[in-house]
């Protein structure tokens, strides 16, 4: 990696044309080679993986085709926690260039490590993603992803630098200053979580600043599931093209997959990752196009090779050709995380489904939380949502009944809807908290 080639196919351009437009048969050959090398790396350097593969009766030499991927056992988030902090690393700590960690809601954080070459690959893929979304050399990139142990900030930062863009390393928070610097520096690209992008837009409104008149043209939004309705809301309010980007620290960080200008699914970078969709119950691999849990295997990671990692993200994959000319499969927009899925009186619900109903409804602002409580033996969901500024408080109840009716008919669940005054739902400065689960924890 490292060498950047720009080639044109029709009117489309690519940052790494050889890889991004590689015929799928050729791509598969590259993947098999890289898969065998990855399994070898894990087998030889990670005792936990070696034991697992031995127990499954698999040796690296058994990997001869992509179908052999299914010989490998899954890796789960609990495996990372159980081997805290460095037990799954294939390199000694002294050989690493960086550590990141995600805070767990329970117990120990998930720790991930990178060699210098891993950081280089990540930077390349993040630059490729940004280019795919429309960012170019020389653009000013306003990076409002949090810097620190979270991979969002530094991931976008290194990618923008690799692209040759100019990074404003803003991080999350100081929202007033975000607005000022976006306007003063004339950023063309905004990187943020979708919920934080909306919080920035809201503050701009309050300051009398019209972001639609700013120089912003492209938003790279990710790190949380968001609905198509949310995309439209952000595009209308900020006046930019809102592009979905995907990643997770266990696999690399942001830049595992990104939308092109077709906005029709996220190209997963298959020269570095293998993507599968499985039935989360049975673990069986599903045919292309069926919805299930996304499973990712890394193909080039040195420090933390990951074999069949269960992401808990629910989605579908297509290898159908894309208008942009890229041959890499597309991950359709993530519906939600398995962890966030609520089962309300037998109906499976993701917060993004409720979001899709809320956003754009009259008098309703795009800020919400779902509160889940146990009433007797039944689970009850209260949707806390805000009225738009200027809405008379004596109309809140009627608006709530209207929203409740639409959630029932479109999502199929009965909820309590509480319409609140503007500004009362907590704003995120990073990943939004969409669900407050107040049910007693089962032991
Ligand atoms: Zn495309």
Cα(398) to centroid of ligand 1, in Å?
Answer: 43
Return the closest-CA partner of residue 132 out of 252, 262, 281, 310.
Answer: 262
Cα(321) to centroid of ligand 1, in Å?
Answer: 8
pLDDT tens, position by position, 160-191: 999 999 999 999 999 999 999 999 999 999 99
Return the closest-CA partner of residue 338 out of 281, 380, 284.
Answer: 281
pTM, 2 dp: 0.92
Cα(21) to centroid of ligand 1, in Å?
Answer: 10
Cα(436) to centroid of ligand 1, in Å?
Answer: 36
Cα(325) to centroid of ligand 1, in Å?
Answer: 6
The per-residue pLDDT for 409 is: 92
Cα(132) to centroid of ligand 1, in Å?
Answer: 8
Separation CA 4–CA 398 (nearest Å): 57
Cα(12) to centroid of ligand 1, in Å?
Answer: 10
What is the DSSP secondary-structure string of 238-298? IISEEEEEEEETTTTEEEEEEE-TT-SSEEE-TTTEEEEEE-TTT-PBPPTT--EEEEEEE
Q: Which two tokens stand for residue 125?
A: 């893929």
Cα(39) to centroid of ligand 1, in Å?
Answer: 30
pLDDT tens, position by position, 337-387: 887 888 887 788 889 899 999 998 999 999 999 999 988 878 899 999 999
Cα(324) to centroid of ligand 1, in Å?
Answer: 4
Tell me how far apart the terminal alpha carbons of the chain are, to the nearest angstrom. Answer: 48
Cα(330) to centroid of ligand 1, in Å?
Answer: 8
Cα(264) to centroid of ligand 1, in Å?
Answer: 7
Cα(17) to centroid of ligand 1, in Å?
Answer: 13
Query: What are the φ/ψ torsions at residue 400 (nearest 5 degrees)?
Result: -60, -40
Cα(236) to centroid of ligand 1, in Å?
Answer: 23
Cα(112) to centroid of ligand 1, in Å?
Answer: 30
Cα(123) to centroid of ligand 1, in Å?
Answer: 20
Residue whose entry in the numeric block shows the structure tokens 């995380």: 337
Separation CA 337–CA 348 (nearest Å): 12
Separation CA 25–CA 270 (nearest Å): 12
Cα(229) to centroid of ligand 1, in Å?
Answer: 21
State the DSSP code for 34: H
Asked whether 15 and 132 are in contact (CB, 8 A), the reply is yes
Cα(261) to centroid of ligand 1, in Å?
Answer: 7
Cα(63) to centroid of ligand 1, in Å?
Answer: 30
Q: Which helix (H) or strand (E) holds 160?
A: helix 151-163
How far lies 395's CA from each of 205, 211, 362, 363, in Å? 23, 30, 12, 9
Cα(114) to centroid of ligand 1, in Å?
Answer: 29
Separation CA 134–CA 175 (nearest Å): 25
Cα(326) to centroid of ligand 1, in Å?
Answer: 6
Cα(259) to centroid of ligand 1, in Å?
Answer: 7
Cα(202) to centroid of ligand 1, in Å?
Answer: 31
Cα(322) to centroid of ligand 1, in Å?
Answer: 5
Cα(3) to centroid of ligand 1, in Å?
Answer: 22
Asked whether 315 and 291 are in contact (CB, 8 A), the reply is yes
Residues of the chain with pLDDT under 50: 1-3, 8-9, 443
Range list of β-strands (E), 299-427: 309-315, 317-318, 330-331, 336-337, 342-344, 347-349, 364-375, 378-387, 416-420
Cα(310) to centroid of ligand 1, in Å?
Answer: 25
Q: Is 417 helix (H, G, I), strand (E, B) or coil?
A: strand
């Amino acid at each position: 990696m490292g060498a950047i080639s720009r080639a044109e196919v029709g009117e489309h351009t690519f940052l790494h044309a050889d890889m991004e437009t590689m015929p799928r048969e050729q791509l598969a050959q590259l993947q098999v080679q890289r898969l065998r090398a990855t399994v070898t790396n894990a087998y030889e350097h990670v005792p936990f993986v070696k034991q697992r593969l031995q127990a499954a009766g698999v040796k690296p030499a058994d990997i001869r085709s992509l179908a052999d991927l299914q010989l490998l056992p899954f890796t789960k988030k609990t495996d990372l926690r159980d081997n805290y902090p460095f037990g799954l690393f294939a390199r000694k700590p002294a050989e690493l260039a960086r550590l990141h960690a995600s805070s767990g809601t329970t117990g120990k954080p998930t720790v991930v490590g990178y060699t210098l070459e891993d950081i280089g690959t990540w930077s390349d893929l993040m630059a490729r993603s940004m280019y795919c979304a429309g960012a170019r050399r020389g653009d000013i990139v306003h990076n409002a992803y949090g810097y620190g142990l979270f991979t969002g900030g530094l991931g976008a930062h290194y990618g923008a630098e690799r692209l040759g863009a100019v990074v404003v390393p803003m991080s999350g928070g100081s929202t007033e200053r975000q607005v000022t610097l976006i306007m003063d520096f004339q950023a063309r690209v905004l990187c943020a979580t979708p919920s934080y992008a909306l919080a920035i837009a809201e503050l701009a409104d309050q300051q009398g600043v019209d972001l639609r008149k700013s120089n912003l043209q492209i938003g790279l939004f990710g790190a949380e599931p968001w609905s198509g309705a949310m995309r439209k809301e952000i595009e209308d309010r900020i006046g930019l093209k809102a592009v979905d980007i995907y990643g997770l620290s266990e696999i690399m960080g942001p830049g595992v997959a990104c939308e092109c200008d077709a906005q029709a699914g996220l190209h997963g970078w298959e020269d570095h990752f293998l993507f599968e969709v499985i039935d989360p119950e049975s673990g069986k691999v599903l045919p292309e196009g069926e919805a299930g849990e996304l499973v990712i295997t890394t193909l080039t990671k040195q420090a933390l090779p990951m074999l069949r990692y269960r992401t808990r993200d629910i989605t579908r994959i297509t290898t159908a050709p894309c208008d942009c000319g890229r041959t890499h499969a597309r991950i359709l927009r993530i519906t939600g995380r398995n962890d966030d899925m609520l089962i309300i009186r037998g109906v499976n619900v993701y917060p993004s489904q409720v979001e899709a109903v809320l956003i754009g409804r009259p008098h309703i602002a795009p800020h919400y939380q779902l509160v889940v409580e146990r009433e007797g033996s039944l689970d009850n969901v209260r949707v806390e949502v805000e009225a738009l500024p200027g809405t008379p408080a004596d109309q809140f109840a009627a608006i709530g009944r209207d929203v409740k009716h639409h959630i029932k008919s479109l999502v199929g669940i009965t909820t309590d809807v509480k319409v609140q005054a503007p500004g009362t739902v907590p704003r995120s400065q990073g990943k939004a908290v969409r669900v407050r689960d107040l049910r007693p924890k089962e032991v």
